Chains A and B, each alone.
Chain A
Amino acid sequence: MGLTDLLFFALSAVAIVSGWRVFATDSMVRASFLLLLSFVAVGLIIVMLAAPYIGVATVFMMAVEMMVMALFMVMFMMNPAGLNPMMMVHQHRFSIAAGVLAFAGLTAAILFTSFPENSVDPSTPVVHDLGIELLGPSMLIFETAGVTLLATMIGSVILSSRSGRFGMADQGSKPPGLEPDGEPAGRQPEQGGGHHHH
């Protein structure tokens, strides 16, 4: 077993253990960081598979993504600053069944597939070829997928933030007054784009 194998097994162990801990921890922020660790290990394995751009880009994107995910979870879950302990799993029976099925299916796929062994020639310009593929023949697919994902994200944020803490967002939600029927509490939004008229 060479150094490469050792490195592969070490990274795989990190990816699996931290992936499991995501569901065992009691905090949204810790869960995000553990998931990030798992993805970083996977990204480094991809680098070992002679795909440097995809591997490093995975680390890069996941760092940003997990940070944003932690932030949005804390914003939407009404869990003050993500500090309160909470259960990270739900729908136990369904998830156990889904997990067992997925594990069995993937294991069967691994065991019954004869994987080809054509290692990449070190002199192949893999990054260059990937760039030509992404921005050439496959450009339409990737751009469509990108724009669709962005639209989905914006749409889901708008839909899930419509019912705010003080009523529907599109009906001018106002916080309750400090006394019954009093003026709404807090700072009032400025009228007319922030210009004051005296």
Chain B
Amino acid sequence: MTTFLAALLLILFLSVGFAGAAVADRAIPAFLAGQTAPSWRLSLADAVRLLQTQRIRTEAPDALLWWLAPALYLALAIVGLAVIPFGQDLVAIPSEVGIVVWGSCEALTIVAVFMFGWSANAPLALIGAYRYVAIGLPAMLLSMFVLIGAALPAESLGFIEIVEAQRTVWNVVRQPAGLILFLMLGLAISLRGPFDYASPEDLAGGVTADVSGPGLLAWKIARLTMLVSVSAVTATAFLGGYLGPILPGFVWLLLKTAVVLLVLIWAGSVFARMPPARMMSVIWTMLLPLSFLMLLVVGVELLLWG
């Protein structure tokens, strides 16, 4: 019964989150550009325009993989969200290894993005795909170390235990830099702003350079859904998830997710993208050691006062 209720809540969470993400994705850049009341209809108009656009074809694409990639991306976003608890016993897929499931979703997302760019059989899409793998894999490593830091106080890999362990203090207090590192992964996995090496403007759209019409719409839907999922995971691992007074846990998680989502969209439109080679050395020589350090700090803290 609770699983059924959790599945319903999952659908509700996805719908509300996706609608909010679609509006915010257009409204926040417009707002930052000085428009005080940007229209909420922009994203809807975008979708309609894409549905009516003609489809283009590249020479000899791998049609099967090209069609499967957006579906896989969307499925991974949904599976990733399904292990997130909406309440103490309210989770669609209860898993005692929740963060490993989420890690698999991250890793397979990199595969899905590569698949999408590679199967187009076109130069810019291919460059985007290879670049993304080079940046995405170390970014995923970062997030896993940071997540282990979140799992340490809970002494469990399950998201419910991780949330329950935050009743005393949220993980963001334990490892503030960990939250920032995880937000970077959020940008990378939802192909956004400074970490979007798959479909950036300098590659004329990269993996999406040779996709148009409904195919592009499907890709954008999957990308926004992944943004919702990664925001929910961030809220759960660092901001206490469903914990909060008075309001039901589901609403608290939705509110926290909304905050993370807005921060991600803001960061995506404010920060610039580094050249890939430089970003690579920043990740391997600065950010990864930082994530080790955060893990060490949490471990020492728990040994001394845990």
Residues on A facing B (Cβ under 8 Å): 29-30, 33, 36, 52-53, 56-57, 59-60, 63-64, 66-68, 70-71, 81-83, 127
Contacts and interface: CB of A to CB of B under 8 A. Distances in A.
Contact of B97 (A36, A83, A127): A127
Interface string B225-258: 0000000000000000000000000000000000
Interface stretch (B21-29, B38-46, B108-116, B173-181): B108-116
B130 A59 contact: no
Interface stretch (B98-106, B185-193, B215-223, B263-271): B98-106
Given A33-B111, A68-B137, A52 B118 contact: no
Given A60-B103, A64-B137, A83-B121, A53 B97 contact: yes
Contacts of A63: 104, 107-108, 110-111
A67 B111 contact: yes
Contacts of A56: 95, 97, 100-101, 104
B89 interface: no
Nearest to B100: A56
A33 B133 CA distance: 14
Nearest to A27: B62
B154 interface: no
B301 interface: no
A56 to B, nearest CB: 5
28 contacts: A30-B62, A30-B65, A33-B65, A36-B111, A52-B97, A56-B100, A56-B101, A57-B97, A57-B100, A59-B108, A60-B104, A60-B107, A63-B104, A63-B108, A64-B107, A64-B110, A64-B137, A66-B111, A67-B107, A67-B110, A67-B114, A67-B133, A68-B137, A71-B130, A71-B133, A81-B126, A81-B130, A127-B157
Given A52-B97, A127-B97, 15 more contacts: A30-B65, A33-B65, A52-B95, A52-B96, A53-B97, A56-B95, A60-B100, A63-B108, A64-B137, A64-B140, A67-B114, A67-B133, A67-B137, A81-B118, A82-B118
A30 B115 CA distance: 9
B107 A29 contact: no
Q: Interface majority SS on B: helix, strand, loop or mixed? A: helix
A68 B110 CA distance: 11
The CB with the most chain A CB atoms within 10 A, among B108, B115, B130, B133, is that of: B108
Interface string B144-163: 00000000000001000000
Nearest to A52: B97
Contacts of A29: 118
Given A56-B101, A81-B130, A82-B118, A127 B96 contact: yes
Contact of B104 (A59, A70, A71, A127): A59
A187 to B, nearest CB: 12
A158 B241 CA distance: 46
Interface string B115-150: 100100100001000100100010010000000000
A86 to B, nearest CB: 15
Contacts of B115: 33
B172 to A, nearest CB: 25
Contacts of B130: 71, 81
Contacts of B108: 59, 63
Given A30-B62, A33-B111, A71-B130, A53 B137 contact: no
The CB with the most chain B CB atoms within 10 A, among A64, A68, A71, A83, is that of: A64
A60 B100 CA distance: 7
Contacts of B62: 30
Contacts of B110: 63-64, 67
A154 B62 CA distance: 33
A25 to B, nearest CB: 11
Nearest to A81: B126
A79 B294 CA distance: 41
Leading 5 A-B pairs by shortest Cβ distance = A63-B107, A60-B104, A56-B100, A59-B104, A63-B108
Contacts of A127: 96-97, 157
Contacts of A83: 121, 126
Contacts of B118: 29, 81-82
A148 B103 CA distance: 25
Given A33-B115, A63-B111, A53 B121 contact: no
A35 B97 CA distance: 24
Nearest to A70: B114
